[in-house]
Structure 1
Amino acid sequence: MNAYQPPYTITQEILNRVAAISEVVGRLTVLTDQAKSLRLRRINRIRTVHGSLAIEGNTLSEAQITAILEGKRVIAPPREVREVKNALDAYDHFENWRPESEEDLLEAHRILMSGLIDEAGMYRRSGMGVMAGREVIHMAPPAHRVPHLMNDLFGWLAATDAHPLIASSVFHYEFEFIHPFADGNGRLGRLWQSLILARWNPLFADIPVESLIFEHQAEYYQALQESTRQTDSAPFITFMLRMVLDTVTSSTPEVAQEVTPEVRLLSALGREMPRQQLKEALGLKDDEHFRKAYLLPALEAGLIEMTIPDKPRSSKQKYRLTDKGRLRLARHGDGNRPRPA
């Protein structure tokens, strides 16, 4: 019998979110069964891969990931292209993996990190510190303890009667705390939570929770740190359930999943707006993410333009829709207006 029990507290907020997610997922499952679409599954797979890798610093856009998926040549850093190919390959194996199988997790890591590190598919053999800039924010357990800790964690997952929404979040946190691999811990931890959820409801194989985590990645890391500080994963569970609830609430099988960052930006830009106001209208906090994922792609695509183009850094600079942007927005219709993240 597995005696290991990860420390976590079930708060009323956690229970309320589990109930809310279960209700939405129930409705969404019926709709999705009526409107299955390989095209939408493909769109969401691309968004999932983009979100997970972007958290780790990969700069490739959804358009570039789509091109790689289609076998087209992409001019980008070779390592980043390899990361995308590996992630797409991993999700191709997604349905064959069992959440409670340590062997499957090692295989997933081997695929995700193939050609990127020497220890792909093997637990780390040295100490590991998680850095934020030059600051060590977490010292992972010693390497010699990793196999034992992971065995305990898988034993708990196989035996627990906790709701999968809670169990998947606990596993994700504990996995990141152990930090069992030399690299790739973040992307694999998120993938494994999706796998646990997908075994509860297949809908989670196609819902891109990763893209929302990317938009809130500062909070993601804060929740991890706060759980470590409290020796209780409740803060991380609470955060992850909010991400899941926001994702399933804004997902419909027909249209909402097709809303790209550019379309979200166009929908928010009802009039000329300065950069900060536009970012706030989208519900975004991270300035660099807003610039790279929203502002620059929309400018480069000719969907928006600057009001003072010859002085891009002017304090009076604003942005407005172009005719091309209005046409793009009209194709999606007012009924598709996205809610703030």
Structure 2
Amino acid sequence: MKYQPPYTITPEILNRVALISEVIGRLTVLTDQARALRLRRINRIRTIHGSLAIEGNTLSESQITAILDGKRVIAPPREVQEVKNALAAYDRFDTWRPEAETDLLEAHRILMSGLIDEAGRYRHGGVGVMAGQQLIHMAPPAERVSQLMGDLFGWLAVANAHPLIAGSVFHYEFEFIHPFADGNGRMGRLWQSLILARWNPLFANIPVESLIFEHQTEYYAALQESTRQTDSAPFIAFMLRMILVTVTTSTPEVAPEVTPEVRLLSVLTSEMTRQQLKKALALKDDEHFRKAYLLPALEAGLVEMTIPDKPRSSKQKYRLTDKGRRVMAQHGGG
């Protein structure tokens, strides 16, 4: 009897599949080859930054760009190696087949080369998923991994589910099995992108990873809830929401310039507090908001404090500067 992952197709999931398909159809018409090549480099950097940042890598998009350009970057050697490996893996992206287990092992070997001893091989020991000091998932025993992965690839090869659903199901099942000693998160996200790119090549250039990074607490919560329910529907719904937001905001015309600070400007309609800004951006993590959004906007002179001499004041608010207004005018008002 062939393996069938447990998942329920809810109305919410069907609606998101329809909306994503509609937006992707419009983007396919709008994106010419020259623009696609230009976006590919920019969005690949954003994708690599998002995926590695979820795993704790601290390098910025500008540092990743420098590494891509062959420049020297002063940073922890392991983090530089992670970026080089990710760049090498994405260079091979178009050659891999989603249903080929050997391709997944090859991708892991490239992605984790020089980082772990078992690069390109399934783990030989137990492994768990940690959230800080808390164990949130204990993966199946190592002796079951090969069979479980074989079953999963067997299902994917014949699955008749829409790729948006099949990709999310594979991603969840992969994370549940946690087949490698390390690198499972980035591999799961990479393989979902590969499944989607075989449906529509635009997904090779759409940085869903960046949005997952901004909502990583929800990402882990969706994984946990799916495990609790023995049904990957919560994770499917979460991933489709991330994909829908990404494809809706990453239009060919604006994708190169929509940095986090520009997104901040787009919601800053008046004088607003940090909490109001975070809510408008649908962000929960205060430290990520501060480092990725607020500080870059302040340092670039796009935003200013209403009480600059008391930066920690409980009454502190933020507003656009003249420079910030000019930037938003260039973006058509946001």
TM-score of the pair, normalised by structure 1: 0.93
The CA deviation at 1:24 is 1.6
Describe the SS at the equivalent of 1:130.
strand
8 Å CA contact 1:306, 1:319 repeated in 2: yes
Task: Deviation per CA, 1:157-198: give whole Å up to 9, x if none.
Answer: 001111111111110000000000111100110000000000
Matches of 1:115 and 1:308 in 2, distance apart?
49
| Structure 1 contact 304–322 (Cα < 8 Å) conserved | yes
Q: CA–CA distance in 2 between the matches of 1:156 and 1:24?
A: 28
With 319-328 and 38-47 compared, the bigger mean Cα shift is at 319-328
How far apart, in 2, do the equivalents of 1:199 and 1:193 lie?
Answer: 10
- Whole-angstrom distance in 2 between the partners of 1:238 and 1:270: 30
Q: After superposing the two structures, state which structure 1 stretch, 297-306 or 127-136, moved more.
A: 297-306
The equivalent residue for 2:27 is 28
SS at match of 2:118: coil
- Residue 169 of structure 2 is aligned to residue 170 of structure 1: yes
Could you tell me how far apart the structure 2 residues matched to 1:37 and 1:132 are?
37
Corresponding residue number in structure 1 for 2:288: 289
Structure 1 residue 34, shift from structure 2 partner: 6.8
| Matched AA of 2:226 | S
Indicate yes or no: 2:54 matched with 1:39: no
3-state SS of the aligned residue for 1:131? strand
Q: CA deviation at 1:270?
A: 3.2
Aligned to 1:98: 97
Taking the aligned partners of 1:42 and 1:256, their CA distance within structure 2 comes to 11
Query: In 1, distance between residues paired with 2:232 and 2:36?
Result: 36
- Bigger drift between 34-43 and 259-268 goes to 34-43
Amino acid corresponding to residue 166 of structure 1 in structure 2: I
CA contact (8 A) 2:267 2:281 kept: yes
1:302 is matched with: 301
In the alignment, structure 1 residue 217 sits paired with structure 2 residue 219: no
Gaps of 5+ in 1: none
**What corresponds to 1:230 in structure 2?**
229
Distance 1:206 1:153 in 2: 26
Q: Which moved more, 1:51-60 or 1:170-179?
A: 51-60
Q: Which amino acid aligns with 1:107?
A: E
Q: Percent identity?
A: 84
Provide structure 2 residue ranges, at least 5 long, that are not aligned to the other structure. Answer: none
Counterpart check, 1:111 vs 2:101 = no
Which residue in the other structure is 2:332 paired with?
A: 333
CA contact (8 A) 2:304 2:318 kept: yes
Give the TM-score normalised by the residue count of structure 2. Answer: 0.95
Q: CA RMSD in A?
A: 1.6
Listed one character per residue, the Cα deviations across residues 296-320 of structure 1 (whole Å, up to 9, x for unaligned) are 2222333323333343222122223
Is the Cα contact below 8 Å between 1:40 and 1:258 reproduced in 2?
A: no
Distance 1:20 1:267, change over 3 A: closer
Deviation larger for 311-320 or 121-130: 311-320
On the 8 A contact 1:305/1:321 being kept in 2, the answer is yes
- The corresponding residue for 1:321 is 320
List per-residue Cα deviations over 1:229-260 (Å, max 9, x = no partner).
01111111111111111111222112245311
Listed one character per residue, the Cα deviations across residues 203-237 of structure 1 (whole Å, up to 9, x for unaligned) are 11111111111121111111100110011111111
Letter aligned with residue 217 of structure 2: A
State the alpha-carbon separation in 2 of the partners of residues 302 and 78 from structure 1. 32
Show CA shifts across 1:80-126 (max 9, x none): 12111111111111000000111110111111111111111111110
Aligned-partner Cα distance in 1 for 2:316–2:7:
48
- Asked if 1:140 is matched to 2:139, the reply is yes
Secondary structure at the aligned position of 2:6 is classed as coil
Report the counterpart of residue 254 of structure 1 in structure 2.
253
Counterpart in the other structure of 2:58: 59
Query: Which deviates the most, 269-278 or 156-165?
Result: 269-278
Q: When the two structures are aligned, how many residues end up with a matched partner?
A: 334
Secondary structure in structure 2 of the residue aligned to 1:37: helix
- Cα contact 1:45–1:208 (8 A) shared by 2: yes
CA contact (8 A) 2:264 2:281 kept: yes
For the 8 Å contact 1:149–1:178, the answer to whether it is kept is yes
| Structure-2 change in CA distance of 1:243 and 1:235 (3 Å) | same
- Asked if 1:279 is matched to 2:278, the reply is yes
Q: Which stretch shifts more, 97-106 or 22-31?
A: 22-31
Q: Is the 8 A contact 2:39 2:255 kept in 1?
A: no
CA–CA separation in structure 1 for the residues paired with 2:159 and 2:291 = 41
Q: CA separation in 1, counterparts of 2:96 and 2:33?
A: 26
C-alpha distance in 2, partners of 1:246/1:118? Answer: 37
Matches within 5 A, 1:263-274: 263-274=262-273
Q: Which residue of 1 aligns with 2:241?
A: 242
For residue 179 of structure 2, give the secondary structure of its aligned residue in structure 1.
coil
Whole-angstrom CA distance in 2 between matches of 1:333 and 1:26: 23
